[in-house]
Amino acid sequence: MNEIESVLHEDRRFPPSADFAAAARLSDEAEYQRLYRQSIDDPDAYWSGVAGELPWMEPWTQVLDWSEKPVAKWFIGGKLNASAWCLDRHLAERGDKTAILWEGEPGDVREISYRELHADVSRFANGLKARGVKKGDRVVIYMPMIPELAMAVLACARIGAIHSVVFGGFSARALRERIEDGGCTAAITCDGGWRRGKILPLKQEVDESIEGIDSVHTVVVVKRGANDVEWDGRRDVWYHDLVADQPADCPPEPMDSEDPLFILYTSGSTGKPKGILHTTAGYMVGAYHSTKYVFDLREDDVYWCTADVGWITGHSYIVYGPLANGATVLMYEGAPTTPHAGRFWELCEKHGVTVFYTAPTAIRTFVRLGDEHVKKHDLSKLRLLGTVGEPINPEAWMWYHRVVGGERCPIVDTWWQTETGGIMITPLPGVTATKPGSATRPLMGVDAAIVDEDGNELPPNHGGLLVIRKPWPSMLRGLWGDMDRYRETYWAKFGDYYFAGDGARRDEDGYFWIMGRVDDVINVSGHRLSTMEVESALVSHEHVCEAAVVGRADEVTGQAICAFVTPDASVTVDDGLRAALMEHVAEEIGKLARPAEIRFTNALPKTRSGKIMRRLLRDVAEGRETTGDMSTIEDLSVLAKLRENQE
Ligand code: WTA
């Protein structure tokens, strides 16, 4: 039994409005088809055209070398600097335009123009050089969402140091593991940053994480929280002292196209985190290109991606992609519901946000909090919405469309990964008629397909494995320090095809429907079911906000479905509701998918970037101890509570 059975039925369709299409960069289906065909049939010509829009220090001589697969080389022989693409290239045309519009959790606001950002990054870069940081060195960045985080990233890029950003919510232990694996020699952090009305003491975590690691010779500390910190005068330096006497001019280091730009760690389901390696030109061309087409940016847009720079979404769609496109980027330090449930919408109204990009987990939280928090605010400037990170259930999609988008904004449901560097499967907002729950079609340059275990392409509407059949510029180049694991994880299964680890199907219109991680697939009586589809059926019930399903061993059916359900606050949780939900799933998708067990919970265990950790729920469902990497869980107490509730 090879296939994943698809049971989700979704017939609603939302073409872009005539107004939106009229103003969009791409608005014509035939034009998308033409560009897409060219990008696949003649990738050299397509990518030369895109790369030619950007300022090279030296031109490339060959677009792609795939002879040493699975390690691609793009734009061979070219020289460039990523920070120059984000900053220097805009100085003449939009030097006074706001690059970063920032709001802190307490409500303090900063506006930084492209000219100012260029000067700040240059001073920062000179300061790092003065501390002996040089091309190829690894610098760990562990900061809250303040402008200096973006500056730190760009300052590293400017001098050719390889940045490794670690999300500020990780523990000292997780940080230490990443510092050691990357062989980092310098760190950039803050005294502390605001989160949910409190100061997180980041410097303290850094101190703990590098205790005994002598290779870290410098810790740059930005003052933000004004909390007390311990100080090691030989190693630690305040950011304001570091940059005080530095000139606002720092010639960007000429980087080879394939020189590393950054490492970013992502957790595997087991074992230690993987250091995903991205190089300079391919990544930058991909980030620039996808931002331009997917977010359809115009000169006067105020663009807000709510991710943290500690994730790939923040790298590609807060820093590199939007800045390479000369956009005004809103950056927000704090939690979505601090000090009140409408904070995100208040920020949208206050700053006139036009393009808004967030995650399904956030959307489901807002559904639960109630429409009134959204409706209090004037969101009429919004023109485009996006989501990323997990499959979005059709009901959450519809809510986003109706309540946030006022039924006028296209939604781009963007499928991609840390490994892919940029968006891969996505609607083009002026072209694609969207279907709730589908990431729709591949972006130009992406040869995506659904195959069976042997690599044969499956016909429409058969669930299988999602692969990418051709290299693309922003693909990862390997895992830091572990190329064997790179080959094993992504290439061993199919050889020539990149295997993403996700299950999906493609419908009769060529639209992709992501069904979740294949590791999570449930096998009931020989039928392989997608977690996404059963969860969507549960969430389509009027009293369910969020659901996660896993398989647990069953003598009769092999696996049985165990569902963890977060109901809305208004409903009484009892056996009646339990029975109603079981019946609801049976009606929506068939008896086969009826959960054998439903457990109610106020919260699901999630990673710090908001993904449901089904691996942990499987342990709970089976009543066994949890093993494996726990460093990425957001809130350990959620897991403890689930175990307590065990019947
Ligand atoms: C999932 C985030 C469905 C998927 C950019 C992928 C999605 C993993 C979507 C990568 C989407 C991301 N629809 N699933 N639109 N976007 N995913 O590395 O399972 O944090 O493999 O990158 O998230 O997560 P990562």
482 in Cβ contact with 510 (< 8 Å): no
Considering only CA atoms, which residue is closest to atom 10 of ligand 1? 417
Average pLDDT value for residue range 470-497: 96
The whole-number pLDDT of residue 647 equals 44
Query: 514, 518, 608: which to mutate for ligand 1, most atoms within 8 A of CB?
Result: 514
Atom of ligand 1 nearest to the CA of 516: 19
Give the model confidence (pLDDT) of 173-220 as tens digits. 889 999 999 999 999 999 999 999 999 999 999 999 999 999 999 999
Q: Determine, yes or no, domain membership for 589.
A: yes
Instruction: For 35-53, give one letter per residue: b (16+ CB within 10 A) or e.
Output: bbeebbeebeebbeebbee
Atom of ligand 1 nearest to the CA of 414: 15
Q: Which domain holds residue 152?
A: 115-253
354 in Cβ contact with 303 (< 8 Å): yes
Domain boundary among 227, 253, 279: 253
Please count the structural domains in the chain: 2
Average pLDDT value for residue range 387-416: 96
CA 470 to chain centre: 22
Domain boundary among 224, 253, 282: 253
Average pLDDT value for residue range 271-297: 95
The whole-number pLDDT of residue 6 equals 78
Q: Give pTM, 2 decimals.
A: 0.94
Residue 129 clears pLDDT 90, i.e. is over it: yes
By DSSP bridging, strand 186-190 and strand 193-195 are unpaired
Residue 355 clears pLDDT 50, i.e. is over it: yes
The whole-number pLDDT of residue 9 equals 77
Query: 277, 387, 416: which to mutate for ligand 1, most atoms within 8 A of CB?
Result: 416
Lowest mean pLDDT among 269-273, 406-410, 564-568: 269-273
d(CA 388, ligand 1 centre) in Å: 6
d(CA 386, ligand 1 centre) in Å: 13
Banded model confidence at residue 4, pLDDT cuts 50, 70, 90: confident
The whole-number pLDDT of residue 641 equals 86
Average pLDDT value for residue range 75-88: 98
Average pLDDT value for residue range 283-312: 97
Long-range own/partner contacts, residues 52-59 (CB < 8 A, 24 or more apart)? 53/288, 54/80, 54/85, 54/89, 54/284, 54/285, 54/288, 54/324, 55/80, 55/84, 55/85, 55/88, 55/89, 56/80, 57/81, 57/84, 57/254, 58/254
Q: Determine, yes or no, domain membership for 189.
A: yes
Give the model confidence (pLDDT) of 105-118 as tens digits. 999 999 999 999 99
479 in Cβ contact with 490 (< 8 Å): no
Query: Is the CB of residue 290 below 6 angstroms from any atom belonging to ligand 1?
Result: no
Q: How far apart are CA 424 and CA 417, in angstroms?
A: 8
Query: 267, 283, 415: which to mutate for ligand 1, most atoms within 8 A of CB?
Result: 415
Considering only CA atoms, which residue is closest to atom 3 of ligand 1? 391
Residue 70 clears pLDDT 80, i.e. is over it: yes
Give the model confidence (pLDDT) of 11-21 as tens digits. 899 999 999 99
Q: Determine, yes or no, domain membership for 535.
A: yes
Banded model confidence at residue 268, pLDDT cuts 50, 70, 90: low
Q: What CATH number does the domain containing 591 carry?
A: 3.30.300.30
Average pLDDT value for residue range 513-519: 92
Residue 269 clears pLDDT 70, i.e. is over it: no
Query: Is the CB of residue 273 below 6 angstroms from any atom belonging to ligand 1?
Result: no
Element of type H or E holding 490: helix 483-490
Average pLDDT value for residue range 291-299: 97
Banded model confidence at residue 163, pLDDT cuts 50, 70, 90: very high
In sequence order, the 6+-apart residues with CB closer than 8 A to the CB of 41 are none
Lowest mean pLDDT among 22-36, 454-468, 601-615: 601-615
Average pLDDT value for residue range 314-341: 97
Q: How far apart are CA 433 and CA 29, in angstroms?
A: 10
Residue 433 clears pLDDT 80, i.e. is over it: yes
* Top-confidence residue, 558 or 221: 221
Query: Is the CB of residue 423 below 6 angstroms from any atom belonging to ligand 1?
Result: no
d(CA 418, ligand 1 centre) in Å: 8
Q: Determine, yes or no, domain membership for 104.
A: no
Q: Determine, yes or no, domain membership for 506.
A: no
Count other C-beta atoms under 10 Å from residue 3's C-beta: 17
pLDDT above 90 coverage of the chain, percent: 86
Q: What CATH number does the domain containing 176 carry?
A: 3.40.50.980
Q: Determine, yes or no, domain membership for 391.
A: no
Query: Is the CB of residue 279 below 6 angstroms from any atom belonging to ligand 1?
Result: no
Domain boundary among 253, 271, 289: 253
Q: How far apart are CA 449 and CA 456, in angstroms?
A: 10
Considering only CA atoms, which residue is closest to atom 11 of ligand 1? 415
Query: CA separation (Å) from 384 to 22, 293, 379?
Result: 14, 12, 11
Q: How far apart are CA 192 and CA 222, in angstroms?
A: 9
Banded model confidence at residue 103, pLDDT cuts 50, 70, 90: very high
Q: What is the mean pLDDT of the chain?
A: 94
d(CA 229, ligand 1 centre) in Å: 37
At 266, which amino acid appears?
Answer: T
The whole-number pLDDT of residue 2 equals 61
The whole-number pLDDT of residue 1 equals 42
Query: Is the CB of residue 490 below 6 angstroms from any atom belonging to ligand 1?
Result: no
In sequence order, the 6+-apart residues with CB closer than 8 A to the CB of 33 are none
Q: Determine, yes or no, domain membership for 227.
A: yes
Q: Determine, yes or no, domain membership for 122.
A: yes
In sequence order, the 6+-apart residues with CB closer than 8 A to the CB of 77 are 58, 59, 60, 61, 62, 257
